[in-house]
Amino acid sequence: MRTQVGIIGAGPAGLLLSRLLALQGIDSVVLENRSREYVEARIRARILEQHTADTLTAAGVGDRLQRQGLEHSGIHLQYPGTRHTLDFPSLCGRTVWVYGQTEVTKDLIATQLDGGPPLLFCVFDVHLEDVDTDAPRIQFTDAAGTPQVLECDVVAGADGFHGVSRPVVQEAGERVWERTYPYAWLGILADAAPATDELIYAWHPEGFALYSMRSPPVSRLYLQVDPSERIEDWPDERIWDALDTRMALESWSVNRGPVTEKSILPMRSFVSAPMRRGRLFLAGDAAHIVPPTGAKGLNLAVADVTLLAQALVRLLREKETDLVDSYSDRALARVWRCTHFSWFMTSMLHRSGDDFDAELQLSQLRRVCSSETAARELAENYTGLPLDL
Ligand code: FAS
Ligand code: PHB
């Protein structure tokens, strides 16, 4: 098999990269080790920055997003006795969209399978070779169990945190920064109409809580818990009682309903640099992980592949290396900005158990809720900064 760009991973990064390249006449093959059903069923991100929504729409995969997505013009920040609304359009002229990553993935896969570049599911034994040459190869076994070799001009490692691509970059020497947070998120899906128009990010002495939504009849809610907590120790009633406590506001209450899914998600920040080795380029979670408090994970993946697609078109069509040579630095500038913002939101809103921290957090929250300058800084980061910082 031969293609210009071999892409490992059919998550949002790999799929969108393939689409953006195809629109520029660059061919690719996407290799995915899971089944289509598995990939489309993964519940993950939800908040799309304005740039992400615009990119998907411009790439011709935004029709359902425009029809079924929920455009949100702000968030509520809460601490005991106060719920303050940040109005994004008045602060920074942008909005965000609530539209599940699962739906984005379904839209991208449907487009890919409707006459788009090859997308192979259930491959295994994926190995990269000769990435330091201009003829890298991907060895793999296809779903039928037949060994295959994909000859490429370039390989894109969009295979997530547990993929095979980053270790290949690491072999040539790279730096890694990691922070594991001393808390996790217990998340539930509930058949209950959200009791709020915008997301509520709530600080409380007992811990952080987040009120989000999937669709008009379905709520998505999260509680800060200790990373050692077990989901079986959290019956529905205990979860609802904790949400009521942490989000309490006079003459308002959380809407309860049947819990249809619950899980505990660990929280960490992770960055690896560079995001390139020879003709192998990393994008998305393969290179970085952020805690979900800032709603940046999916949006960072989209920003990476927007930059990478531009760079690969320049290399493969115009034979110019300037953009591929600057890709890692340009992508990492945004990665660190989003890593900082995700750390800022996480540190401001999650109880550490230390009362000095609590006073700092409350002071920061009061500052954001009272200063247009501080609110604008949060709004600009949350809705997404320009691609090239
Ligand atoms: P992905 O991990 O989505 O995709 C990588 C793909 O590569 C996968 O399909 C995988 O099966 C495949 N793959 C791996 N190894 C392979 C191999 N050897 N060969 C072939 N294929 C291989 N972000 C937010 O902004 N908000 C959230 O609330 C949020 N919640 C999250 C919850 C969870 C449980 C997780 C894990 C992540 C969450 N994220 C969230 C972050 C998430 O949305 C990621 O940022 C996003 O999926 C990144 O997309 P990709 O880089 O494409 O990586
Ligand atoms: C979600 O709805 O899953 C969600 C929303 C905002 C976040 C994180 C997760 O910051």
User: Could you tell me if 121 and 155 lie in one domain?
Assistant: yes
- Cα of 256 to ligand 1 centre, how many Å? 29
Decide whether any atom of ligand 2 lies within 6 Å of the 166 Cβ: no
**Residue 384 in domain:** no
Ligand nearest to the CA of 214: 2
User: Could you tell me if 144 and 279 lie in one domain?
Assistant: yes
Decide whether any atom of ligand 2 lies within 6 Å of the 220 Cβ: yes
User: Could you tell me if 113 and 243 lie in one domain?
Assistant: no
**Residue of minimum CA distance from atom 38 in ligand 1:** 44
Strands 124-129 and 137-141: antiparallel
Decide whether any atom of ligand 1 lies within 6 Å of the 12 Cβ: yes
Residue from 298, 304, 345, 382 whose mutation best tests the ligand 1 pocket (most atoms within 8 A of CB): 298
Residue from 159, 265, 280 whose mutation best tests the ligand 1 pocket (most atoms within 8 A of CB): 159
Q: Residue 386: its pLDDT value, please? A: 86
By C-alpha distance, which of 286, 47, 251, 270 is closest to 161?
286
**Residue 389 in domain:** no
**Tokens (6 digits) for 3:** 């293609």
Which residues partner with 140 through β-bridges? 148
**For residue 199, what are the domain limits?**
183-263
Show which of 236, 263, 290 is a domain's final residue. Answer: 263
**Residue 59 in domain:** yes
Show which of 245, 263, 281 is a domain's final residue. Answer: 263
CA dihedral 199, 66, 189, 302 (to 10 degrees): -80
Residue 292 annotated as catalytic: yes
Decide whether any atom of ligand 1 lies within 6 Å of the 160 Cβ: yes
Per-residue pLDDT tens listing for the chain (389 residues): 999 999 999 999 999 999 999 999 999 999 999 999 999 999 888 999 999 999 999 999 999 999 999 999 999 999 999 999 999 999 999 999 999 999 999 999 999 999 999 999 999 999 999 999 999 999 999 999 999 999 999 999 999 999 999 999 999 998 999 999 999 999 999 999 999 999 999 999 999 999 999 888 999 999 999 999 999 999 999 999 999 999 999 999 999 999 999 999 999 999 999 999 999 999 999 999 999 999 999 999 999 999 999 999 999 999 999 999 999 999 999 999 999 999 999 999 999 999 999 999 999 999 999 999 999 999 999 999 988 77
| Selected catalytic residue, list 72, 76, 288, 350 | 72
By C-alpha distance, which of 81, 117, 116, 97 is closest to 7?
117
Decide whether any atom of ligand 2 lies within 6 Å of the 267 Cβ: no
Q: Residue 387: its pLDDT value, please? A: 84
**Residue 364 in domain:** no
What is the spatial order of strands in the sheet that 147-151 belongs to?
Answer: 124-129, 137-141, 147-151
**Residue 212 in domain:** yes
Decide whether any atom of ligand 1 lies within 6 Å of the 31 Cβ: yes
**How far is Cα 110 from Cα 101, in angstroms, rounded to an integer?**
14
Q: Residue 5: its pLDDT value, please? A: 98
**Residue 374 in domain:** no
Decide whether any atom of ligand 1 lies within 6 Å of the 104 Cβ: no
**Residue 372 in domain:** no
Find the CATH number of the domain harbouring 302: 3.50.50.60
User: Could you tell me if 214 and 337 lie in one domain?
Assistant: no
User: Could you tell me if 31 and 156 lie in one domain?
Assistant: yes
User: Could you tell me if 143 and 223 lie in one domain?
Assistant: no
Residue 382 annotated as catalytic: yes
User: Could you tell me if 147 and 199 lie in one domain?
Assistant: no
Question: Tokens 């501080």 label which residue?
Answer: 374
Q: Residue 388: its pLDDT value, please? A: 78
Find the CATH number of the domain harbouring 259: 3.30.9.10
**How far is Cα 183 from Cα 179, in angstroms, rounded to an integer?**
12
Decide whether any atom of ligand 2 lies within 6 Å of the 295 Cβ: yes
User: Could you tell me if 255 and 274 lie in one domain?
Assistant: no
| Total domains present in the chain | 2
Measured in residues, the chain has a length of 389
**How far is Cα 45 from Cα 292, in angstroms, rounded to an integer?**
8
User: Could you tell me if 251 and 280 lie in one domain?
Assistant: no
Amino acid at 188: I
Residue from 285, 306, 346 whose mutation best tests the ligand 1 pocket (most atoms within 8 A of CB): 285
User: Could you tell me if 20 and 105 lie in one domain?
Assistant: yes
Q: Residue 24: its pLDDT value, please? A: 98
Residue 79 annotated as catalytic: no
Show which of 263, 280, 308 is a domain's final residue. Answer: 263
Contacts of 199 (CB under 8 A, 6+ apart): 47, 72, 75, 76, 98, 210, 211, 212, 213
User: Could you tell me if 232 and 272 lie in one domain?
Assistant: no
Residue 169 near residue 271 (C-beta atoms within 8 A): no
**Residue 309 in domain:** yes
| Selected catalytic residue, list 201, 211, 222, 327 | 201
Q: Residue 345: its pLDDT value, please? A: 98
Ligand nearest to the CA of 105: 1
User: Could you tell me if 222 and 151 lie in one domain?
Assistant: no
